[in-house]
A and B are shown apart, each in its own frame.
Chain A
Amino acid sequence: MRHTISVLVENKFGVLARIAGLFSARGYNIASLAVSETLDPEVSYMTIVVEAKDEKVLEQINKQLNKLIDVITVTDFTKKEHIDRELVLAKVNYSSKDKAKLEAIFGKFVGKIIYHKADTAIVEAVGDQEQIKALLEELDKFGVKELIRTGKLAISN
Chain B
Amino acid sequence: MKMTGSQILLECLKREGVEVVFGYPGGQILPTFDALYEYKGFKFILTRHEQGAAHAADGYARVTGKVGVCLATSGPGATNLVTGIANAFMDSIPMVAITGQVPTALIGNDAFQEADITGITRPITKHNYLVKDIKDLAGIVREAFYIAASGRPGPVLIDLPKDVQVAQTEFIWPPEPKLRSYNPSYNGHPGQIKRAAKLIMESKKPILYVGGGIITSGASAELMELAEKIGSPVTWTLMGIGGFPSLHKQSLGMLGMHGTAYANHSIMDADLIIALGARFDDRVTGRLDVFAPNAKVIHIDIDPSSISKNVKVHIPIVGDAKQVIAELISEIKQKPDIKDWLEHVEGLKKKYPMGYKDKNKILPQYVIQQIDEVTAGEAIICTEVGQHQMWAAQWYNYTMPRTFISSGGLGTMGFGFPAAIGAKLGSPEKIVFNIAGDGSIQMNIQELATCVENKINVKVAILNNGYLGMVRQWQELFYKRRYSYTPITSPDFVRLAESYGAVGIRVTKKDEVKGALQRAIETDNTVFIDFHVEEEENVYPMVPAGEAINNILGGLA
Contact of B182 among A13, A18, A69 (CB under 8 A): A69
Are A25 and B123 in contact (CB-based, < 8 A)?
yes
Q: C-beta contact mask, B181-203 vs A, less than 8 Å → 1, else 0?
A: 11000000000000000000000
Are B303 and A67 in contact (CB-based, < 8 A)?
yes
Task: Say yes or no: A63-B305 contact (C-beta < 8 A), given A10-B181, A14-B130.
Answer: yes
CB distance from A25 to the nearest CB of B (A): 6
- Is B361 part of the binding interface, using a Cβ–Cβ cutoff of 8 Å? no
Q: Which residue of B lies closest to A71 (CB)?
A: B181
Residues in A with CB closer than 8 Å to B182 are 69
Contact of A69 among B118, B181, B303 (CB under 8 A): B181
Q: C-beta contact mask, A43-81 vs B, less than 8 Å → 1, else 0?
A: 000000000000010011001101101111000000000
Q: Which residue of B lies closest to A65 (CB)?
A: B305
- Is B309 part of the binding interface, using a Cβ–Cβ cutoff of 8 Å? yes
Contact of A66 among B118, B119, B123, B304 (CB under 8 A): B304
Are B122 and A17 in contact (CB-based, < 8 A)?
yes
Are B180 and A69 in contact (CB-based, < 8 A)?
no
Contact of A17 among B119, B180, B309 (CB under 8 A): B119
Summed over the interface, the residue pairs from A and B with CB atoms below 8 Å come to a total of: 35
Residues in B with CB closer than 8 Å to A64 are 305
Are A72 and B181 in contact (CB-based, < 8 A)?
yes
Query: A residues 1-57 with Cβ under 8 Å of B?
Result: 9-10, 13-14, 17-18, 21, 25, 56
Q: Which residue of A lies closest to B181 (CB)?
A: A72
Q: Which residue of A lies closest to B151 (CB)?
A: A67
CB distance from B249 to the nearest CB of A (A): 38
Q: Which residue of A lies closest to B156 (CB)?
A: A69
Q: Which residue of A lies closest to B152 (CB)?
A: A67
Q: Which residue of A lies closest to B179 (CB)?
A: A69
Residues in B with CB closer than 8 Å to A71 are 181
CB distance from B293 to the nearest CB of A (A): 19
Task: Say yes or no: A69-B304 contact (C-beta < 8 A), given A17-B122, A18-B122, A60-B309.
Answer: no
Contact of B127 among A9, A21, A63, A69 (CB under 8 A): A69
Contact of A63 among B119, B123, B147, B304 (CB under 8 A): B304
- Is B126 part of the binding interface, using a Cβ–Cβ cutoff of 8 Å? yes
Interface size class of B (residues with CB under 8 A): 10 to 19
- Is B475 part of the binding interface, using a Cβ–Cβ cutoff of 8 Å? no
How many of A's residues come within 8 Å of B, CB to CB? 19
Task: Say yes or no: A60-B305 contact (C-beta < 8 A), given A14-B118, A69-B127, A69-B147.
Answer: yes
Q: Provide the bound-state CA to CA distance between A17 and B126, in Å.
A: 14
Q: Provide the bound-state CA to CA distance between A78 and B126, in Å.
A: 28
CB distance from B336 to the nearest CB of A (A): 31
Question: Which of B179, B182, B303, B308: most chain A CB closer than 10 A?
Answer: B182
- Classify the secondary structure of B's interface with A: mixed
Contact of B305 among A9, A13, A67 (CB under 8 A): A67
Q: Provide the bound-state CA to CA distance between A58 and B180, in Å.
A: 24
Residues in B with CB closer than 8 Å to A67 are 303-305
Residues in A with CB closer than 8 Å to B119 are 17
Q: Provide the bound-state CA to CA distance between A9 and B308, in Å.
A: 25
Q: Provide the bound-state CA to CA distance between A71 and B119, in Å.
A: 18
Residues in B with CB closer than 8 Å to A72 are 180-181
Are B123 and A21 in contact (CB-based, < 8 A)?
yes
Residues in A with CB closer than 8 Å to B122 are 14, 17-18, 21
Residues in A with CB closer than 8 Å to B123 are 21, 25
Residues in A with CB closer than 8 Å to B304 are 63, 66-67
Residues in A with CB closer than 8 Å to B308 are 56, 59
Residues in A with CB closer than 8 Å to B118 are 14
Contact of B126 among A25, A63, A69 (CB under 8 A): A69
Residues in A with CB closer than 8 Å to B127 are 69-70
Q: Which residue of B lies closest to A22 (CB)?
A: B123
Q: Which residue of B lies closest to A70 (CB)?
A: B181
Q: Which residue of B lies closest to A24 (CB)?
A: B123
Q: Provide the bound-state CA to CA distance between A16 and B180, in Å.
A: 18
Q: Provide the bound-state CA to CA distance between A9 and B179, in Å.
A: 12
Q: Provide the bound-state CA to CA distance between A25 and B118, in Å.
A: 16
Q: Provide the bound-state CA to CA distance between A14 and B120, in Å.
A: 12
Q: Which residue of A lies closest to B308 (CB)?
A: A59
Q: Provide the bound-state CA to CA distance between A43 and B258, in Å.
A: 48
Question: Which of A13, A14, A17, A60: most chain B CB closer than 10 A?
Answer: A14
Q: Which residue of A lies closest to B132 (CB)?
A: A13
CB distance from B273 to the nearest CB of A (A): 19
Q: Provide the bound-state CA to CA distance between A17 and B116, in Å.
A: 13
Q: Provide the bound-state CA to CA distance between A9 and B309, in Å.
A: 24
Q: Which residue of B lies closest to A8 (CB)?
A: B181
CB distance from A16 to the nearest CB of B (A): 11
Q: Provide the bound-state CA to CA distance between A70 and B308, in Å.
A: 24
Q: Provide the bound-state CA to CA distance between A154 and B3, in Å.
A: 47
Query: B residues 75-131 with Cβ under 8 Å of A?
Result: 118-119, 122-123, 126-127, 130
Q: Provide the bound-state CA to CA distance between A59 and B304, in Å.
A: 11
Residues in B with CB closer than 8 Å to A69 are 126-127, 147, 179, 181-182
Q: Which residue of A lies closest to B126 (CB)?
A: A69
Q: Provide the bound-state CA to CA distance between A76 and B413, in Å.
A: 41
Residues in B with CB closer than 8 Å to A59 are 308
CB distance from A22 to the nearest CB of B (A): 8
Query: B residues 152-208 with Cβ under 8 Å of A?
Result: 179-182
Residues in A with CB closer than 8 Å to B180 are 72
Q: Provide the bound-state CA to CA distance between A10 and B129, in Å.
A: 14
Q: Provide the bound-state CA to CA distance between A14 and B122, in Å.
A: 9
Q: Provide the bound-state CA to CA distance between A18 and B123, in Å.
A: 8
CB distance from B108 to the nearest CB of A (A): 12
CB distance from A6 to the nearest CB of B (A): 15
Question: Which of A9, A18, A71: most chain B CB closer than 10 A?
Answer: A18
Residues in A with CB closer than 8 Å to B305 are 60, 63-64, 66-67
Given contacts A21-B123, A67-B305, 4 further A-B contacts (CB under 8 A): A17-B119, A69-B127, A69-B147, A72-B181
Instruction: Give me the interface of A with B, judged by CB distance under 8 Å.
Output: 9-10, 13-14, 17-18, 21, 25, 56, 59-60, 63-64, 66-67, 69-72
Instruction: Give me the interface of B with A, judged by CB distance under 8 Å.
Output: 118-119, 122-123, 126-127, 130, 147, 179-182, 303-305, 308-309
Q: List the 9 shortest-distance A-B pairs measured between CB atoms, nearest first.
A: A63-B305, A69-B127, A72-B181, A69-B182, A63-B304, A64-B305, A21-B122, A67-B305, A21-B123
A-B contact pairs, 6 of them (CB 8 A): A9-B181, A10-B181, A56-B308, A60-B305, A66-B304, A69-B147
